[in-house]
Structure 1
Amino acid sequence: MRPSAFDPIEIPEWVWDRDETREILKRRDVAGLFNLAVKYAGASQVRISAATGIAQGRVSQHLRGLRQVTDLEVFERIATGLGLPDHARMLLGLAPLDIASPTGDRGEEHQEQADDLRAMIEAAAAVDDTMVMILSTDTNNLRLLDRRLGGVVIADKMRAQISQIQRAHRHAIRTGIRTQLAHVLSETAALAGWQAIDRCALSDAWDYHEAAISAGREAENDALVAYARGQQAYVLIDLGRPAEAAELLHHVRHTYDSRVPGHLRTWLAAAEAEAAAILGDETTARRALDEAAALLPEGDTDPSLPYLALNTHHLARWRGSCLIHFGDSETIEDLRSALAGMDGTFNRAEAGLRCDLAHALLAMGEADAALPHIHRADQLATMIKSRRHGRRIAELKRSATRALH
C-alpha cells in the first residue's frame, strides 16, 4: 500500500553507519538528510513536511539548497521526524535521547565523536581577542557591502561568516571570548535578518532575529537585544500584523529606553512612529517622531552601535515616510531634504526614500514629477536585488500609469 503523508519515515539503520551519511550529519546538511529520506524511505516532500513540521515549500527550498537551517529547534524537529538514532543525533550536534547509553555498543563511533569534539574545542580555544576583532571587522565590511550591493549579492559570504562565528562560539570555553563571540554573532545575525526581510524571506528573518536576540542576551548587551527585537517588528509589519509590531516596539522602548545609547533610543522611537503610521494612528506617530527628534544625539554614529547610522537626514527620511500616510503637506519637503543629504552608499535606503517621495508626489497629483524617482528607485532595487522594494515599485508604476492616462 502507498504510504500516506502521515506515516512515519523509516530510514534503514545501516544508512546511518555509512561514511557519506556521517559527513552529511557533521556538516548539518539538511538537503542531504532530506535526500536520504527520499532515497531510502521513499518519502515525498509532503511526507517530510508532515514529519518535521516544516512547510512543504520550505522543504523544497532545502532540497534545492536555497535555504539554510540555523535554529537548533528546527534541527531537533528534523532529527525526530527522520528518526535519527542517537549516534546520528550526536553527529548532528544534538543530545542523545538515551542518556544512559547514547551510542549503544558503537565504541569506535563514540571515540570518533570524542575526537571530533576535542578538535572543535581546541580550534575554538585558538580564538583570541585579535581573532574576535577580525570577525567583527568582517561583519562590518559585510554591512558596508550590503548597503551598496544588497544582501543577495553577498549571501554566500554572509552564510560563511555566520557559520564561522557559530562554530567558534558553540565550542568556546573561556567566558570572556565566548561573550565577545556572542556579541559578534548577535550583530551578524541581525544583519542577516534584515537582509532576509529585504528579500521577503520572512521565516528566515524571524529565525535570524531570534538567534540575534539569544546571542545578545548571552553577551549581556541590552542594545543588541533591543535592536534585534526592534528589527523583528518589521517582520510582523511585512506579515500584515502592524498592531502586534506596534505593541512589540512600544514594549521594547519602555523596557530598554533608559538602558541603551541615544542613537538607538532615537531609532526605536522612529520605528514605533512608523508602526503607528501604518496603523493610521497619527497622534502616536507624531508624538513618537517628536520624541525621536528630541532624543537624536549630535553626530552620525555611535562607535558602540556600528549597526546604526542615524542623523538628521535619516530622521527626515523616516519622518516623511511616516507622515506620507496622513497626506501631510510637509512630507515632500522632508523627503527632498533627506534625499539631498543622503550618503550615496546607502542604496537600499535611497530606493526606499525615492519610493516614499514618488508616493507623496502621486498623492499630490504630480505624476510627472514622481516618474524620475520611480525610475531611479527601480534601478537601485534591481541592482541590490531587493524584492521588498521591487514589490512597492511595481505598485507605484501602476499608480503612475493610472494617473497619466
Structure 2
Amino acid sequence: MQKGVASRIDIPASVWDSDDTREILRKRDFAGLFAIAVKYGASQVRIGAVAELGQPAVNAILHGKRSIAELHVIERVATGFGLPDHARMLLGLAPQDIASPTGDHNDAHEEQTTELIGRLDFAATIDPITVMILRTDTNNLRYLDRKLGGPAIADKMRAQIAQIERAHRHAIRHGIRTQLAHLLAETASLAGWQAINTLALNDAWTHYEHAKAAAYEAEDPSLLAYVSGEQAYVLTELGRPAEATALLQHVHAQHRDHVPRRLRTWLSAAEADAAAILGDETTCRAALDQAAALLPEGDSDPDMPYLFINAHHVARWRGNCLVRFGDPDTADDLRSALAGMDGTHIRAESGVRCDLGHALLAAGDPEAAQPHIHRAQQLATMTGSRRQRRRIDELSKAVNRALGR
C-alpha cells in the first residue's frame, strides 16, 4: 500500500475543480490548501499525520508563518489530500497516471480546452474603458485603506486582485496586457502594504514579488522602484534593517536617472527610516536632507497615484526618524506634520501621534505625551494596524511608568 494512502483525508472531488482551489494550487498557497482540509473536518494533527509534518508546523503554515518549498513534502501533501492528477499538475507535480497526463477525469482534455477558450474569450472583452474602471476601483480601495485600514476591505482587495489577475493572465493584445500588468502591480503592492500593517509578513513578501513581476512586464521603472522599495519594509519588520537599508540604496542607485523627483524623495525618506531603526544617524540624516532637497511642489503626480508625499509627510518622516536619536526639534517637526494632515490618512495620523508622544516622553513631559498616545491607540485599532499597535502599546506602558501608574 502506498505510504499515507490509508489515512488519506477525504475531500470531495468537486473541490479540486473550483476556481478558488485552482488558484490556491497554482500559487502553492499551502495555508489555503490546509484550510480546505480543515473545512472538511481534518484536524491539524490529522493534516500533520498524512503530510508527515508536526502539528506545530501545520499551525504555522495555516497562519502564514511558514510555507513549504521541498518537493518531497509537497508530494506527501498531495498524496495525503488525495489530489487528482489535474490538481497535482496545478501544484507543479507530475501526474500519477502517466498515460493520461490529466487523468481520466470526465474527458479532462476537452474540459481544459473549453476552459481555456472561455478564459481567453473573457480576456478578449477587456478594453481600455474596462481597465479604466478597474483602475478607479483600485484607487477607491487605496482611499478606503487610508481611512479604514486593510482588514476592513480585505474581501474587496482579494476580489479586485483576482479579477485583474484573471484578465491579465489570458490577455493577448499587447496594449491591454501592459495596462493590466501595471494595474496588477499597483494593486498587489497595496495588498503588500496592508499585509505589513497586520504583520502578515510572508503574505506581504509574496504580494511584492507578484507586484515586481507585473511591474517588469509593464516596463515601468517608477513602479518597479516603488514596489521594490516598499518590500524593504518587510525586512525592517523582520528585524533586518541593515538589509532593508542596503536594498533601498540599491533601488535608488539603480533607478535614480529614470524616475521622477517625488519618487526619489520617497526612496530617500524610506532609506532614512531604515537607517534610523538600524541606529545609523549619519546615514539617516543624509537621506532626510536628500529627501527634502528632492521634494517637488504639490502632493502627488498623476502618473503615480500610488505615491502621495509632500512637505508635511517629509516632516512626519523626519520626526519619526530623529525621535530615535533624541533630537530636540523632533516635536516641532511632528506638530507641523500633524497640522498639515487632511483627515483622510487615519493610519498615518496614528503614526504621527505615536511619534509625537514618544518625543514628548523623551523630553520629560509624559502628561503631554499621554493624550497623543491614547489617540494613536484609538486610530490604530480603527484601522486594524497591528504593526502600529505593537509600538504604541510599548510607549503607553512607558508613559504609565513615568506617571507612576
Q: Distance in 2 between matches of 1:14 and 1:109?
A: 23
For the residue of structure 1 that corresponds to 2:254, the secondary structure is: helix
Q: Distance in 1 between matches of 2:65 and 2:107?
A: 30
Q: Residue by residue, what CA displacement relative to the aligned partner does 1:63-115 show, whole Å, maximum 9, x if unpaired?
A: xxxx799x99899985773144532235x485855898522555712111211
Question: One-letter code of the match for 1:314?
Answer: H
Counting matched residue pairs gives 391
Q: Residue by residue, what CA displacement relative to the aligned partner does 1:364-397 show, whole Å, maximum 9, x if unpaired?
A: 1010100110111111111111111111111111
Q: Quick check: 1:362–1:400 contact (8 Å CA) kept in 2?
A: yes
Cα offset for 1:170? Answer: 1.1
Q: Distance in 2 between matches of 1:367 and 1:253?
A: 39
Q: Distance in 2 between matches of 1:127 and 1:104?
A: 33
Q: Distance in 2 between matches of 1:249 and 1:188?
A: 21
Q: Quick check: 1:234–1:245 contact (8 Å CA) kept in 2?
A: yes
Cα offset for 1:27? Answer: 5.9
Q: Distance in 1 between matches of 2:137 and 2:296?
A: 27
- 5+ residue gaps in structure 1? 1-6, 62-66
Q: Residue by residue, what CA displacement relative to the aligned partner does 1:330-387 show, whole Å, maximum 9, x if unpaired?
A: 1111111111111110000000000000001000101010011011111111111111
Matched, 1:337 2:340: no
For the residue of structure 2 that corresponds to 1:82, the secondary structure is: helix
Structure 2 CA distance for partners of 1:377 and 1:73, relative to 1, 3 Å = same
Question: One-letter code of the match for 2:58?
Answer: Q
Residue 214 of structure 1 corresponds to which residue in structure 2? 213
Structure 2 CA distance for partners of 1:20 and 1:267, relative to 1, 3 Å = closer
Structure 2 CA distance for partners of 1:74 and 1:35, relative to 1, 3 Å = farther
Residue 13 of structure 2 corresponds to which residue in structure 1? 18
Matched, 1:152 2:135: no
Q: Distance in 2 between matches of 1:87 and 1:219?
A: 31
Q: Cα RMSD (Å) of the superposition?
A: 3.2
Cα offset for 1:325? Answer: 1.2
Q: Residue by residue, what CA displacement relative to the aligned partner does 1:95-136 show, whole Å, maximum 9, x if unpaired?
A: 855898522555712111211111111111111111111111
Q: Distance in 2 between matches of 1:370 and 1:376?
A: 10
Aligned pairs for 1:92-241 within 5 A: 92=90, 101-104=100-103, 106=105, 108-241=107-240
Residue 362 of structure 2 corresponds to which residue in structure 1? 363
Q: Quick check: 1:193–1:205 contact (8 Å CA) kept in 2?
A: yes
Structure 2 CA distance for partners of 1:120 and 1:78, relative to 1, 3 Å = farther
Identity of aligned residues (%): 55
Question: One-letter code of the match for 2:363?
Answer: M
Q: Quick check: 2:276–2:324 contact (8 Å CA) kept in 1?
A: yes
Q: Quick check: 2:78–2:88 contact (8 Å CA) kept in 1?
A: no
For the residue of structure 2 that corresponds to 1:258, the secondary structure is: coil
Q: Quick check: 2:281–2:325 contact (8 Å CA) kept in 1?
A: yes
Q: Distance in 1 between matches of 2:127 and 2:388?
A: 40
Question: One-letter code of the match for 2:279?
Answer: G
Question: One-letter code of the match for 1:191?
Answer: L
Structure 2 CA distance for partners of 1:242 and 1:14, relative to 1, 3 Å = closer
Structure 2 CA distance for partners of 1:345 and 1:14, relative to 1, 3 Å = closer
Residue 46 of structure 1 corresponds to which residue in structure 2? 48
Q: Quick check: 1:233–1:245 contact (8 Å CA) kept in 2?
A: yes
Q: Quick check: 2:50–2:77 contact (8 Å CA) kept in 1?
A: yes
Deviates more, 1:21-30 or 1:280-289: 21-30
Q: Distance in 2 between matches of 1:124 and 1:313?
A: 42
